[in-house]
Structure 1
Amino acid sequence: MTTYQSRTDVPQHEKWDLTHIYQTQEAWQEDYQKVVSGIDTLKSYNDNINCAEQFYGFLNSQEELMQMYTKLYVFAMLQNDEDTRKSSSQTLLDQVQQLGVKISSATSFFMPYLLELEEETLTRYIEEVPALQYFEKDLFESYRYKTHVLTKEKEEVLSQLGDALASPKNTFNMMNNADIVFGDVTNEKGEKVPLTRGMFAKIMESGDRTKRKEAYKAYYKPYVQMKNTIASTLSSAVKNNVTLSKMRQYPSALEKALFGDNVPVSVYENLIEATKNNIAPLHRYMKVRKEKLGVDELRAYDLSAPLVKDVREDIPYDEAYDTMLESLQPLGDEYIAQLKAFKDAGVIDVRETPGKRSGAYNIGLYGVHPYVLLNHRDNLDSLFTLAHEMGHCMHSHYSSLYQPRISARYSIFVAEVASTVNEVLLINHLLKTTTDKKMKKHLLNHFIDQFKGTFFTQVMFAEFEKIVHEKAEKGESLNAEVFNGIYEKLFRTYNGDDLVFEEEVKYGWSRIPHFYRPFYVYKYATGYVSAIHIAERLLQGDNDTLEAYLKFLQSGCSEYPLDLLKATGVDLLSPEPVESAMNAFARLVDEFAESE
């Protein structure tokens, strides 16, 4: 694995290029000042929209301002994520976040104004100023929110509280990315060295059980030490969400979260129910894992350990990229050509460096191009992460290419489909092209573990979120002990009796950043089952599915998510996609258990 002690050591073609957004910090500051001035323009429309021209003037000014603000924000965020320790980057990001609160405050009057406007008047405005047709669909969609929008004065107060309401999430992110110090582990020379996230992932996949246990304990040490502080931030985030849901007259926080995508609560509840009803194959896999490892007790630090020994895991980045391209051939020549072009185009930030934000993500930037953050470790997991994030990247690219700005940003609900289709195509390619029995078995195991992490674990997280929000809605207390109890019970239910409980396991809730983005994780699971459905048809050479899928990638948020998926042949209102995915998982476990 290639490691770098400084960002300056990383080859230029393995770093993203932020000059594609702004050539200089001065150029950023110029746009920042333009947005500051533009806020006053937006404020001037308050109580001053009396005709179609003024109505259009506000909407057009707002969109131009938001386009500039998005560029400012993405630039500041990406620069901060390069090294979260730099105070200058933190200052820039804080500056632009505060600016966002001011924009929200300046525009908070509009939704109450719009919803007081008769639909007949809005229709007449659109007839008088044809340019308003660009905003027409979104404007009429807004009437769906009529019962959930407060008075103009209350909306302004809420918008001004935006920074304060984001405080739990921001506090956790700073702790988790910049301040956290893990315990020590023993290196190859027998020396004690501080554990890093990258090291942790690597060690947990090693065959040395003693080292895995040591790393596991060291990794959880700061989370256990800070359990009360982190519980306070999570409790505040949940309570904020519940309070806002009540203020906006939603029946529950869950229904507020699902409302924007027009997803019935039944989709969320059925996902959890169908998963728990079909949990037996996961429990069987735990038993198989215990047998294959040859341990008396299966422990939490055994769940990523290799079940097939002496398999080559070293996959350099360039080789990983080529393998990904080969695996995605079913998506067509145009898709592949664009992926090739992105490799050295300043789009991808590849390497882990000190202070860099952990994990991986893609963010689209309309009018520029997507940006992808990786922490590539030259192993099989990193190959899959690459394919996953480039799926997001291509979704952003196609949506920006084929949609106007207003409908280019796809819903999070469908976001995980494009990434997971790529992963499913990749694993099938690897299984098909690998002749080595040992490697094939290893890949099967990887697919099962990926399925477990992307589907079962996310459903477990989704149920955790549902339970803690329901407790908050009943006025019950939320603290470290309560979170521990809920998480422990769920962990046991999902993972079964063959896993001997490690004390640290119940603190799993304390390290999940997605919990600060309420009711997000279930979309990984729905996206996963949708992706399996689509990928299986692509692998069969179904041209109708390919055409429908590429159109899906180009659709942004032009339709509701469930309707976009239905056009590809996936109906999440029916139990079929989840049950089909569960059957696929059971077959994988059977095949792996019976393999030599």
Structure 2
Amino acid sequence: MTTYKSREEVDDREKWNLADIYPTVEDWQKDVELIEQTAEQLKKFDGNIHDGKTLYSYLSESEKVSFTFGKVFAYGMLYVDIDTRDTEAQSLLDKAKQLSVKVNAATSFFMPFLLGLEESILKNFMKQEKGLQYYEKDLLDAYRYKTHVLSKEKEEILSQLGEALSSPSHTFGMINNADIKFGEVTNDDGEKVELTRGMYAKLIEHPNRNKRKEAYKAYYQPYVHLKNSIASTLSGAIKNNVTVSRLRKYPSALEKALFADNVSKEVYENLISTTKANLGSLHRYTEIRKQKLELEELHQYDLNVPLVEGVEKEISFEDAYETMIDALRPLGEDYINTLASFKNARYIDVRETPGKRSGAYNMGVYGVHPYVLLNHRDNIDGLFTLAHEMGHAMHSHYSHKTQPQNTAKYSIFVAEVASTVNEVLLINYLLNKETDEKLRQYLLNHFIDKFKGTLFTQVMFGEFEKITHELAEKGNPLNAKLFNEVFEKLFKEYNGDQIVLDEEVKYGWSRIPHFYRPFYVYKYATGFASAVHIANRILEGDSKTKEAYLEFLKSGSSEYPLDLLKKTGVDLTSPEPVENALKQFKELVEEFSKVITV
């Protein structure tokens, strides 16, 4: 595998081209100035919207600002992520963030104004101005929020409190990313060195159990040490969320979080209850792990080590792209041809280089095209990451191409569906094609672990959030002791009696940044279950599901997420999609138990 010492060493075809957004930084600056001027003009509409014509003028001007700001922000973010050490790039992104504050301030009057209108007056405005038909769904949908939007003065106060209310999240971010110092581990030369997150990710999968245990203890050391400080930040975040939910007259913090997607709390509760009713197969997988590793006691630091060793298959980026294309052929010619065209169009930043942002993501830039960041590794994991992110990219491409600006951006609720459908198609393709028995075992193990991490673990996290928010709503004090008790009980329920619980297990809550974005993680699980359902139907040759799925990719946010999914045959208001996914997990575990040599 090639290691790049600088970005200059990477072939231009494997670097994204920001000139597709702005040819130069000077062109970017012109749009920054344009937005600043237009934002000032938007303020003039405050108190001066009296008919359909002025309402349409405000909405169309606001949409133009939104379109241009989307490009300005994307350019700054993508520029920074090329090299996070670049101070010029940082200054562009900082300027874009400051611009966001100005735009939000200039438009903050609108929602209280709109909801202060009688619906009959709004409909009369629509009769006066035909152009308002384009905004009709958004305008009428806003009335769902009527009982939850405060007066203009109170909204301004809440807006000004925004930074203070997000303080627990920022504080945790500083603790977790800047201040935490992990314990020491022993390197290959027998020297003690400070553990890093990157080292931990590798060591927790190390075949040497002593290495895993040492890394596990060192990783949790600062979280245990800072338990009360982190409990304070999490408690503050939960209480702030509960308080704002009450101020906005929601029945609960959970229902506030679900409101935007028009999802009932029954969907959330059904996900938890259905998953918990099917934990037997997860417990069985834990037993297999214990047997395969030949352990008298199974600990948390034994849960990440691959059960199939010695599978080192090198897959170049070129070969990975070709394999992905072949695996996704069931999605049809248009999907495949479009996806193939992305490779040489410089939509993808492929290689890991010094200073580049870690991980992988897709960013759809409306009016331009998707941008995909990778730090590609020439192995099976790299292949799966590629298929995952290109699923997001195709979702962005189709939605942006088909939908007008105001409905082009898809909800996070459905975001993981497109990426996971690709992964399910890929794993099936590889399993059907692969003749090497050891590699087949590795692929099964990989998919089972993906299932566990994306569905079971996220549901467990979702239940932790539900319990802790309900305790806060009842006035119970939130502290490290309570968080420990709730988390440890859930961990044992989900993972079974085969695992010996170390002291560190109960502190699992203290390291999860998603808990500062309440009731978000469940979407990973619903997205995964939905994708498994859709992909399996497509693999069975169901042409109606395939066509419905392609339409889903083109739908953006033109309808609520549950309604979009229903058109693909997935009804998350019933237990069926989650039950079907869990049934497949059980079958995978049973197959794995037969082929794995213990």
> Is the TM-score greater than 0.5?
yes
Structure 2 match to 1:125: 125
Counterpart Cα distance in 2 of 1:419 and 1:448: 17
Counterpart Cα distance in 1 of 2:183 and 2:26: 41
Structure 2 match to 1:203: 203
Structure 2 match to 1:93: 93
Counterpart Cα distance in 1 of 2:340 and 2:185: 39
Counterpart Cα distance in 1 of 2:69 and 2:161: 19
Q: 1:4 to 1:203 in 2, by over 3 A?
A: farther
State the Cα distance separating 1:410 from its structure 2 match. Answer: 0.7
State the Cα distance separating 1:198 from its structure 2 match. Answer: 3.8
Structure 2 match to 1:142: 142
Q: In structure 1, what residue type is equivalent to 2:362?
A: N
Counterpart Cα distance in 2 of 1:85 and 1:512: 26
Q: In structure 2, what residue type is equivalent to 1:576?
A: E
Aligned pairs (5 A) from 1:49-88: 49-84=49-84
Kept in 2, the 8 Å contact 1:178–1:355? The answer is no
State the Cα distance separating 1:316 from its structure 2 match. Answer: 3.2
Kept in 2, the 8 Å contact 1:448–1:589? The answer is yes
Q: In structure 2, what residue type is equivalent to 1:205?
A: E
Does residue 240 of the first structure (1) align with residue 243 of the second (2)? Answer: no
Q: Deviations along 1:41-81, whole A, 9 cap, x unmatched?
A: 11111111111111111111111111122222222333334
Counterpart Cα distance in 1 of 2:190 and 2:332: 50
State the Cα distance separating 1:196 from its structure 2 match. Answer: 4.2
Task: State TM-score, norm by structure 1.
Answer: 0.94
Task: State TM-score, norm by structure 2.
Answer: 0.93
Q: Deviations along 1:419-438, whole A, 9 cap, x unmatched?
A: 11111111111110011112
State the Cα distance separating 1:375 from its structure 2 match. Answer: 3.3
Counterpart Cα distance in 1 of 2:130 and 2:519: 38
Q: 1:182 to 1:386 in 2, by over 3 A?
A: farther
Structure 1 match to 2:278: 278
State the Cα distance separating 1:174 from its structure 2 match. Answer: 4.9
Aligned pairs (5 A) from 1:86-485: 89-177=89-177, 180-353=180-353, 355-485=355-485
Q: 1:327 to 1:267 in 2, by over 3 A?
A: same
Q: In structure 2, what residue type is equivalent to 1:47?
A: G
Counterpart Cα distance in 2 of 1:175 and 1:348: 32
* SS state at 1:453 partner: helix
* SS state at 1:568 partner: coil
Counterpart Cα distance in 1 of 2:107 and 2:387: 39
Q: In structure 1, what residue type is equivalent to 2:427?
A: I
State the Cα distance separating 1:186 from its structure 2 match. Answer: 4.0
Counterpart Cα distance in 1 of 2:219 and 2:361: 22
State the Cα distance separating 1:226 from its structure 2 match. Answer: 4.1
Kept in 2, the 8 Å contact 1:101–1:162? The answer is no
Q: 1:363 to 1:314 in 2, by over 3 A?
A: same
Q: In structure 2, what residue type is equivalent to 1:31?
A: D
Q: In structure 1, what residue type is equivalent to 2:232?
A: S
State the Cα distance separating 1:187 from its structure 2 match. Answer: 4.1
Counterpart Cα distance in 1 of 2:192 and 2:19: 40
Q: 1:193 to 1:500 in 2, by over 3 A?
A: same
Counterpart Cα distance in 2 of 1:280 and 1:337: 42
State the Cα distance separating 1:2 from its structure 2 match. Answer: 4.3
Mean CA deviation greater in 464-473 or 552-561: 464-473
Counterpart Cα distance in 2 of 1:196 and 1:22: 37
Mean CA deviation greater in 563-572 or 236-245: 236-245
Q: Deviations along 1:519-547, whole A, 9 cap, x unmatched?
A: 11111111111111111111112111111
State the Cα distance separating 1:3 from its structure 2 match. Answer: 4.1
Counterpart Cα distance in 2 of 1:334 and 1:213: 49
Kept in 2, the 8 Å contact 1:98–1:163? The answer is no
* SS state at 2:558 partner: coil
Structure 2 match to 1:581: 581
- Identity, % of aligned pairs? 63
Aligned pairs (5 A) from 1:510-529: 510-529=510-529
* SS state at 1:497 partner: coil
Mean CA deviation greater in 398-407 or 76-85: 76-85
Kept in 2, the 8 Å contact 1:267–1:573? The answer is yes
Mean CA deviation greater in 212-221 or 116-125: 212-221
Q: Deviations along 1:404-461, whole A, 9 cap, x unmatched?
A: 0100011111111111111111111111001111211121111111110110011011
Counterpart Cα distance in 2 of 1:81 and 1:434: 36
Kept in 2, the 8 Å contact 1:204–1:305? The answer is yes
* SS state at 1:573 partner: coil
State the Cα distance separating 1:179 from its structure 2 match. Answer: 5.6
* SS state at 1:375 partner: coil
* SS state at 2:350 partner: strand
* SS state at 1:23 partner: coil
Q: In structure 1, what residue type is equivalent to 2:517?
A: R
Counterpart Cα distance in 2 of 1:85 and 1:236: 32
Q: In structure 2, what residue type is equivalent to 1:111?
A: M
Kept in 2, the 8 Å contact 1:206–1:212? The answer is yes
Kept in 2, the 8 Å contact 1:434–1:440? The answer is yes
Kept in 2, the 8 Å contact 1:84–1:178? The answer is no
Mean CA deviation greater in 580-589 or 373-382: 373-382
* SS state at 2:375 partner: strand
Q: In structure 1, what residue type is equivalent to 2:533?
A: H
* SS state at 1:475 partner: coil
Structure 2, unmatched stretches of 5+, are none
* SS state at 1:371 partner: strand
Q: 1:247 to 1:353 in 2, by over 3 A?
A: farther
Q: Deviations along 1:492-522, whole A, 9 cap, x unmatched?
A: 1111111122333333223323222221111
Counterpart Cα distance in 1 of 2:411 and 2:256: 15
Counterpart Cα distance in 2 of 1:167 and 1:79: 27
Q: Deviations along 1:149-185, whole A, 9 cap, x unmatched?
A: 1111111222233344344434444554556554444
The RMSD of aligned alpha carbons is 2.3
Counterpart Cα distance in 1 of 2:218 and 2:593: 32
Q: 1:512 to 1:380 in 2, by over 3 A?
A: farther
* SS state at 1:296 partner: coil
Mean CA deviation greater in 468-477 or 110-119: 468-477
Q: In structure 2, what residue type is equivalent to 1:305?
A: V
Kept in 2, the 8 Å contact 1:105–1:156? The answer is no
Q: In structure 1, what residue type is equivalent to 2:341?
A: A
Counterpart Cα distance in 2 of 1:344 and 1:3: 21
Structure 1, unmatched stretches of 5+, are none
Q: In structure 2, what residue type is equivalent to 1:50?
A: H
* SS state at 1:520 partner: coil
* SS state at 2:349 partner: strand
